[in-house]
Chain A
Amino acid sequence: MRVIQNEKLRTVLSYLIPFVLIPAVVIGGIAVFRSRGYSYLIFAVSALTILLFVCGFDRRKTGTRRLVLVAAFVALASAGRAAFSFIPGVNPVTAVTILAAVYLGGEAGFMIGAFSALVSNIFAGQGVWTPFQMFAWGMIGLFAGIFAKYFEGRKLRLCVYAFFCGIFYSLIMDVWTTLWTYDAFNLPFYLASITSAVPYTAVYAVSNAAFVWLMAKPFSEKLGRIKLKYGI
């Protein structure tokens, strides 16, 4: 449903939103919530980044086949997250996001990462963390897409990237927890949360790399095949 029917007005708004509205929301919000300015800031920035990407995705024309692939990878990652829940700390979301982003590009990568968080949380439970998870996985996909040319066909590099994404994901999530709790960076608390999460982070990082290692080849073969066969 289009709320705004006028095409011109929509175009104006589409530029106005990122350049005027977003800073306004951020600055205005900090003024209101000054006692928890940092928490608000990270929340607003991640939520608005997602909004921005969604709007950008909406504006560009995406071929039908690419669109279906994006939806399918979101579903695959979400189904995989449910299926691998038997091993704590292991889920294929990062791996699927990275591999798909390398072949479909940064924007699609962001969408796949962010929407995988949203969809899998419909089954796993939504919460305050949803926008932040969307942001973190989206960024992992975005960067994989941006640096695709360094990754394509390079299994080892992909594994290293996936490994560090696992660590990055944990570190960022803990920064968030810390800021959330204290609205300031409390180093002892941060170190304590990192230390307590070490086993989890380790399993996550290693399993990410393992997923990518085992899936990179089939993935490129299969996508390459349909790219060739149907021209995507």
Chain B
Amino acid sequence: MALFDIKNLSFAYPAGKRILRDVTLTVEQGDFLVLCGPTGSGKTTLLKLLKPELFPLGEKSGEVLFEGADINALPPEASCRIGFVQQSPEHQIVTDKVWHEIAFGMENMCFDKMLMKRRMAEIMSYFSIDSQFDTNTSDLSGGQKQMISLASVLVMDPKVIILDEPTSQLDPVSASGFLQTLKKLNDELGLTIIITEHRLENVIPLGSKLCVIEDGSVTALGETKQAIKEILSNEKIRRSMPGSVQIFHTLGANGECPLNVPQGRAYLKNNMPQSIRELPEEEQQGGSETEIKIKNLCLRYSKNSPDVLNQLNLTVYKNEILCVLGANGSGKTTLLNAVANLVTPYAGKIEIKGKNIKKYRGQELYNNLLAMLPQDVETVFLRNTLQEEFEKAGVDPTDLPYDLSYAYSTHPYDLSGGEQQLAALAVVLASKPEILLLDEPTKGLDNGAKATLCKALRALKEKGKTIVIVTHDVEFAARCADRAAMMFRGEITCIETPRRFFTDNIFYTTSVAKITAGLIEGAVTPEDFEYCAGGGK
């Protein structure tokens, strides 16, 4: 008996938009199913239709069987058996202490006291989070929060865990740690996992099955390597696949599809294209005029805390896109806040257009000169529709390198992550800044949205803007940047053109660069690789 048997499931929201069409899917006990597809394809809706407590309002047809029984008829106790973890680390935490968060589900189900203590001990030891027992949940990092959410679901002993983009708000290191934990649960306990993700690089190699959803319909389904072969012709989906899959496609897609870096390297060695083996370093793209000059900047948040920025030196040229990369806590966001004059360094100086930042009086800095887009772009929005928002901010839509007019009547919070990013960008552009500072703009975006954002930023650069981006996203930086900088312990450790940067980096680089290292010099993006394989076309 299959765990989930989904037969001809269709669903439409009350507004009338049909979001799922005739979905038929079987999930067996012990499967690790990866669901993927572009934003708005109905992935989240499908997941919610597998969890009775979260059924969305709307019109449903077809049926869902859980262990052979109709899911609508499950008794309330059954909510233990289907676990659900959402995307947002911040908002799915309910209580103020770690122990209470983990106990929350057991309290709801009125578990026996001894059983509660036993399960608590087990789960805390399994995740080795016993030292966090008394910790305030608000003191945890995003990755730790997601881990607690997972533990709090797992403690109820579910048969299956459904995860809706659980790592999209996490940095790459925490994200891969989280996914490895899922894999461990799947391997050691035989726990069934159903997961959707945007960032497929890490999750695809872990999954046993892949299901691709587009426009509410299943377009590919099966064992991972087989399913991937089915969608290779679909460029939109293929572009979101791991680098090894793209290389596999470029090389003709013969044989078994490689899913990770070692498999990709092996495949590439056996199928080396007889063409370009080396890409030249790009020419310096930005101008040579200095826009921002930072000298020996030191900053700490309180007297006795360590330096967050430590003797930092950086020059940003006019009309360039600079990406600053680095791990959590390396001081990236602080650097951005210092340039935006939101925090004050205790030593060193920042010059913008040759003038010390302290000499800018009142609003001078923010009028027609500098604008910052925060990590959480929702904090930009004040109004009820995008139109109101644009009117209030004085956005000139004709001035934008992209079009959002189709979404004017939408509430800003109802936009997708990518649209929100573009809308917030439009709002900050209304003050006609010459310098744009962006903090993690690709967080939670799917591949398509990242490409759109990249295009928009390139277009803004063409219009003469200087753009500084702080990001974890190496793939995005490789595509978008004119120069890439690495930040570590509050200082800039190197700064180069992206091709040089990602070729010379060994660990902190794109997956294509890892696969091609030593084989094809300078190929860091799938496009670079296609260019080489295609003999320079």
Do A and B interact directly, with beta carbons closer than 8 Å? yes
A211 to B411, CA, bound (A): 24
Per-residue CB contact flags for chain B residues 410-435 toward chain A (1 = under 8 Å, else 0) read: 01000000000000000000000000
For A231, what are the chain B residues with a Cβ–Cβ distance below 8 Å?
57
Q: Taking the nearest CB of chain B, how far is it from the CB of A54, in angstroms?
A: 18
The count of A-to-B residue pairs whose CB atoms sit within 8 angstroms is 4
Cβ of B384 under 8 Å from chain A: yes
Shortest CB distance B135–A (Å): 18
Interface size for B (C-beta < 8 A) is 3
Main secondary structure of the interface of A (DSSP, over half): helix
Q: How far is the CB of A150 from chain B (nearest CB, A)?
A: 26
Chain B 348-385 per-residue mask, 1 if CB under 8 angstroms from chain A, else 0: 00000000000000000000000000000000000010
Residues of B within 8 A of A225 (CB): 384, 411
Bound together, the chains give a CA A221 to CA B384 distance in angstroms of 8
CA A221 to CA B383, docked complex, whole Å: 10
Interface digits, A209-228 against B, CB 8 Å rule (1 contact, 0 not)? 00000000000010001000
Nearest-Cβ distance from residue B86 to partner chain A, whole angstroms: 14
B57: which A residues are within 8 A, CB to CB?
231
Q: How far is the CB of A221 from chain B (nearest CB, A)?
A: 6
For B411, the chain A residues whose CB sits under 8 A away are 225
Q: How many residues of A contact B (CB 8 A)?
A: 3
Question: Taking the nearest CB of chain A, how far is it from the CB of B105, in angstroms?
Answer: 13
Complex Cα distance A221/B411, Å? Answer: 11
Interface string of B134-177 (1 = CB under 8 A from A): 00000000000000000000000000000000000000000000
Q: How far is the CB of A69 from chain B (nearest CB, A)?
A: 13
CA A60 – CA B454 in complex, angstroms?
53
Chain A residues within an 8 Å CB radius of B384: 221, 225
Shortest A219–chain B CB gap in Å is 12
User: Which residue of chain B has the shortest Cβ distance to A71 in the bound complex?
Assistant: B94
**Smallest distance from the beta carbon of A86 to chain B beta carbons, Å?**
18
In the complex, A221→B385 CA distance in Å? 11
Cα of A215 to Cα of B57 in the assembled complex, Å: 30
Chain A proximity of B387: nearest CB distance (Å): 15
Closest chain-B Cβ to A232's Cβ sits at a distance in Å of 12
Residues of the B chain whose Cβ atoms lie less than 8 Å from the Cβ of A221? 384
Report A174-232 residues with CB < 8 Å from chain B CB. Answer: 221, 225, 231
Of all chain A residues, the one with the shortest Cβ separation from B56 is: A230
Q: For the complex, what is the distance from the CA of A150 to the CA of B459, rounded to whole Å?
A: 54
A168-B432 Cα distance, complex, nearest whole Å: 49
The residue in chain B whose Cβ has the minimal distance to the Cβ of A225 is B411
Chain A nearest CB from B54 CB (Å) reads 11
A139 and B319 CA atoms in complex are apart in Å by 60
Cα(A221)–Cα(B57), bound, Å: 21
Q: In the complex, how many angstroms separate the beta carbon of A58 from the nearest chain B beta carbon?
A: 14
Closest to B53 in A: A64
Among residues of A, the one whose C-beta sits closest to the C-beta of B382 is: A218
B320: shortest Cβ distance to chain A, in Å?
Answer: 39
Instruction: Offer 4 A-B interface pairs, CB within 8 angstroms, sorted by A.
Output: A221-B384, A225-B384, A225-B411, A231-B57
Pick the 4 closest A-B CB pairs, nearest first: A221-B384, A231-B57, A225-B411, A225-B384
